[in-house]
Amino acid sequence: MRKYVIMGVQGSGKGTQAKLLADDLDIIHISVGDIFRWHVQQHTKVGAQVRRTMAEGSLVGDELVESLVRDRLDIHDWNYGFVIDGFPRNARQAEFFLETYDIDGVIVLELPDEEVHNRVLARRLCAECGLDYNLIASNPEQPDVCDACGGRLVTREDDTPEALAARLADYHAKTRPIVELFERKEFVVHIDATHSIDDVQAEIREQLGLPPYQEARS
């Protein structure tokens, strides 16, 4: 069983890299962002709270995030392990995580703030099927139209310069101390996330001692 935490500022590619690992290793990808989006799309009470918070440009509270992650992990559908992104978000949650789960590695994706702005403000989301696009790397065949379902591509409610500035400040203030805590107790690898998706994945695998990326795909 393998259990990993993947960390990094928004736009660093956590979800993409976590999915590549999960698909190949037959482990579960647990994404806090995906959990939020599901609740918003299903119009749950949690979804209404998340949407309201995002519209204000604020950050979803740590207690709600912790509750959702606990509920997700309690499903126990991760027989072969998991890779989680978007959690933990503070030192207390990190301590709980370390006490509860035997983590095999913590992946920290490093990305300069300037590149974060470039990537995040170029993101689009299909209003119908939820497919993600980044206009820097993956333009749709028709402008503002989803290739998969023909739905309209929109900017995420929280992808504004003001909201991004708040998230960056929160990340640097709260997440860096978590990385330092993990470094004292767990195996942490720092990855340069400015490179291509394939190169980042290859570096993650090399540092974690996993099969090479190209070999795993063949």
CB of 129 closer than 8 Å to CB of 136:
no
pLDDT for position 218: 42
Look up 3 and say whether it is catalytic: no
Q: Which of 2, 3, 72, 89 is catalytic?
A: 89
DSSP 160-189: SHHHHHHHHHHIIIIIHHHHHHHHHHS-EE
Answer whether 41's CB lies under 8 Å from 129's CB: no
Catalytic residue from among 19, 37, 51, 156:
156
Active site annotation includes 14:
yes
Residues in the chain: 218
Cα 192 off chain centre by: 16
Is 92 one of the annotated active-site residues of the chain? no
Q: If you search the block for the tokens 């070999």, which residue do you land on?
A: 215
Active site residue 119: no
Q: Is 156 a catalytic residue?
A: yes
pLDDT at residue 17, rounded to an integer: 95
Q: Which of 19, 51, 123, 174 is catalytic?
A: 123
Helix, strand, coil content of the chain in percent (nearest 5)? 50, 20, 35
Of 129, 101, 217, 120, which Cα lies nearest the Cα of 166? 120
pLDDT of the residue at 202: 94
Q: Which of 2, 14, 72, 124 is catalytic?
A: 14
Instruction: Tell me what pLDDT residue 214 has.
Output: 61
Query: How confident is the model at residue 96, as a pLDDT?
Result: 81
Residue 72: which of 48, 101, 99 has the closest Cα? 101
pLDDT in the model for residue 2: 92
Per-residue pLDDT at 176 = 80
pLDDT reported for residue 74:
87
- Mean pLDDT per block of 10 residues along the chain (218 residues) reads 91 92 93 86 88 74 85 88 90 85 93 91 88 83 92 86 86 86 89 94 94 61
